[in-house]
């Protein structure tokens, strides 16, 4: 990273503690939206064993977090994923990863503006009988999220803390009502019995479960703004993974208890979008269902703001590296936010949202699902590359870390993540509800972006060798030595197009019932 002028505004140092960073990454996962919108489909596909899928996904990502957080103590760059991958696999692969991260995080955020429009419209219809068009809501959301990112990072952390408490609180209220009343036929642990878990539908549940954790890895993006980052970042990462895994499994289990093991599948098939609303109406009251409608909207807003902040910091880091225009590296003198990166990201989001609207696309089935899906797969591919990079880096670097952190856990995580990616790609039609041709294009975008990043790396090496040489350098390390790592690595292979799976007639992530 190039040296910054002493009087140039920088990100606010020591602004975030463990809880603040945890709010950012858990909010990005949008727990209420994932539960009310997607969990009913997971139950429909995997039966009463669906809760175990979330535990298995959480355990896999906890193993990944071991090597990931170990690297965070040794790499101080603000580039997170791409900096770690560069350390292990070389600058070319690192620049490919940087482009994939930028596109992946943007895909995860921009598609959600379609979800914001539809959930707000559905909530307005459910609560007041109003018909609200989605596009004005999405555009208003763009302006609101831009403002949240423009303000200081501690402002965002406080706002996300309030929104996260609201969305998780309503789910806890639902769970409490079910537990206090003993469910439909008494409480049972049958969801975790081998016979319920080891069924063909578990593979599809795992695909949905891994998607439900997206965003937890962004803890390391806030390194420069964290207090005592060597301690707060690992803590926040483990807290996020543990909370999401346990919370998801617990809430899905309680909803199964609410209807009963014998009846929940029929209820999910009849009205997946209304499953959670029916449960909370029965066990808590209609007023709680109204609150759940409102909190789903705020859950989406929280997710958008969390991803927006993460994207801005990636763009800031790449601008400081010289890969993106230098203007995107400017920090607001008062709020200490990467405000020009935020403005550019908001502009990009507006262009894509308006393009889908002008094309007459459905904001849920096309804007959300088609833009989100390659972003999700791209972030999973980055986790796989990061897991591979950890043992390679520590093998040739002097360190005092143990083999569990530097070899065993990262290798195990790489294997598990490779399996997870295969599951998601093989079940991609469940995520997109699209044709085989569309699915092939969406999946192929991930390796295509990575290959474009490799091409960008070669261009930088040829025409801007100084920028290439200092890419992902430590803040005080100056210009790094010429790259000799990873030059012979093969690019990420293009996933083959999956055979059409027998997708259920119920779309993934159904909208809340009107």
- Cα separation, 296 vs 354, in Å, equals 23
Q: Inform me whether the pLDDT recorded for 221 exceeds 50.
A: yes
Which residue pairs, CB below 8 angstroms and at least 24 apart, start in 341-344?
Answer: 341/311, 341/312, 341/313, 341/315, 341/316, 342/146, 342/149, 342/150, 342/308, 342/312, 343/146, 344/315
pTM of the model: 0.87
Q: Inform me whether the pLDDT recorded for 365 exceeds 80.
A: yes
Average pLDDT value for residue range 470-480: 61
Q: What is the pLDDT of residues 301-319, one digit of tens each?
A: 999 999 999 999 989 989 9
Q: How confident is the model at residue 152 (pLDDT cuts 50, 70, 90)?
A: confident
Q: What ranges do the domains of the chain cover?
A: 18-469
DSSP state of 476: T
Predicted confidence at residue 514, as pLDDT, reads: 36
The answer to whether 94 and 323 are in contact (CB under 8 A) is no
Q: Inform me whether the pLDDT recorded for 509 exceeds 90.
A: no
The CATH topology of domain 18-469 is: Amino acid/polyamine transporter I (1.20.1740)
The answer to whether 65 and 241 are in contact (CB under 8 A) is yes
DSSP state of 506: S
Predicted confidence at residue 497, as pLDDT, reads: 39
Q: How confident is the model at residue 475 (pLDDT cuts 50, 70, 90)?
A: low
* pLDDT greater at residue 399 or residue 114: 114
Per-residue burial over 229-240, b if 16 or more Cβ lie within 10 Å, else e, is beebbbbbbbbb
Predicted confidence at residue 473, as pLDDT, reads: 76
Strand partners, 226: 16
User: In this structure, how many other beta carbons lie within 10 angstroms of the beta carbon of residue 327?
Assistant: 11
Q: Inform me whether the pLDDT recorded for 6 exceeds 60.
A: no
């Amino acid at each position: 990273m190039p040296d910054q002028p002493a009087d140039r505004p920088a990100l606010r140092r020591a602004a975030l503690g463990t809880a603040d960073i945890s709010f950012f990454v858990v909010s990005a996962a949008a727990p209420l939206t994932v539960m009310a919108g997607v969990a009913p489909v997971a139950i429909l596909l995997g039966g009463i064993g669906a809760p175990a899928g979330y535990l298995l996904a959480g355990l896999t990502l906890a193993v990944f977090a071991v090597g990931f957080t170990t690297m965070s103590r040794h790499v101080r760059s603000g580039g997170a994923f791409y900096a770690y991958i560069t350390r292990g696999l070389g600058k070319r692969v690192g620049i490919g990863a940087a482009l994939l991260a930028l596109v992946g995080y943007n895909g995860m955020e921009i598609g959600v503006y379609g979800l914001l429009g539809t959930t707000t419209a559905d909530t307005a219809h459910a609560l007041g009988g109003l018909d609200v068009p989605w596009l004005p809501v999405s555009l208003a959301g763009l302006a609101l999220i831009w403002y949240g990112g423009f303000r200081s990072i501690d402002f965002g952390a406080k706002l996300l803390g309030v929104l996260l408490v609201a969305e998780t609180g309503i789910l806890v209220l639902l769970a409490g009502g079910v537990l206090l009343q003993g469910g439909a036929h008494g409480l049972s642990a049958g969801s975790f019995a081998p016979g319920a878990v080891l069924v063909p539908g578990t593979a599809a549940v795992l695909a949905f479960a891994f998607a439900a954790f997206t965003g937890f890895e962004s803890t390391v993006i806030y390194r420069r703004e964290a207090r005592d980052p060597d301690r707060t970042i690992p803590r926040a990462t483990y807290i996020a993974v543990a909370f999401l895994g346990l919370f998801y499994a617990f809430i899905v289990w309680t909803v199964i208890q609410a209807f009963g093991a014998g009846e929940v599948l029929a209820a999910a098939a009849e009205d997946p979008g209304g499953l959670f609303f029916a449960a909370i109406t029965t066990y808590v009251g209609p007023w709680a269902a109204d609150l759940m409608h409102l909190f789903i909207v705020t859950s989406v807003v929280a997710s958008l703001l969390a991803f927006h902040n993460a994207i801005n910091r990636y763009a800031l880091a790449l601008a400081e590296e010289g890969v993106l225009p230098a203007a995107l590296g400017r920090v607001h003198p008062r709020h200490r936010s990467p405000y020009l990166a935020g403005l550019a990201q908001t502009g990009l989001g507006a262009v894509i949202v308006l393009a889908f609207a002008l094309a007459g696309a459905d904001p849920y089935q096309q804007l959300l699902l088609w833009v989100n899906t390659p972003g999700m797969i791209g972030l999973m591919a980055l986790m796989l590359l990061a897991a591979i990079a950890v043992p390679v880096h520590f093998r040739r670097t002097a360190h005092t870390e143990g083999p569990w952190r530097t070899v065993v856990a990262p290798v195990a995580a790489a294997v598990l993540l490779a399996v997870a990616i295969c599951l998601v790609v093989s079940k991609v039609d469940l995520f997109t509800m699209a044709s085989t041709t569309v699915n092939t294009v969406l999946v192929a975008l991930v390796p295509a972006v990575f290959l474009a990043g490799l091409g960008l790396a070669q261009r930088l090496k040829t025409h801007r060798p100084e920028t290439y040489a200092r890419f992902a350098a430590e803040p005080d390390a100056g210009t790094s030595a010429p790259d000799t790592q990873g030059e012979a690595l093969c690019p990420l292979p293009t996933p083959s197009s999956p055979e059409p799976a027998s997708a259920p007639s119920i779309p993934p992530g159904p909208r809340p019932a009107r």
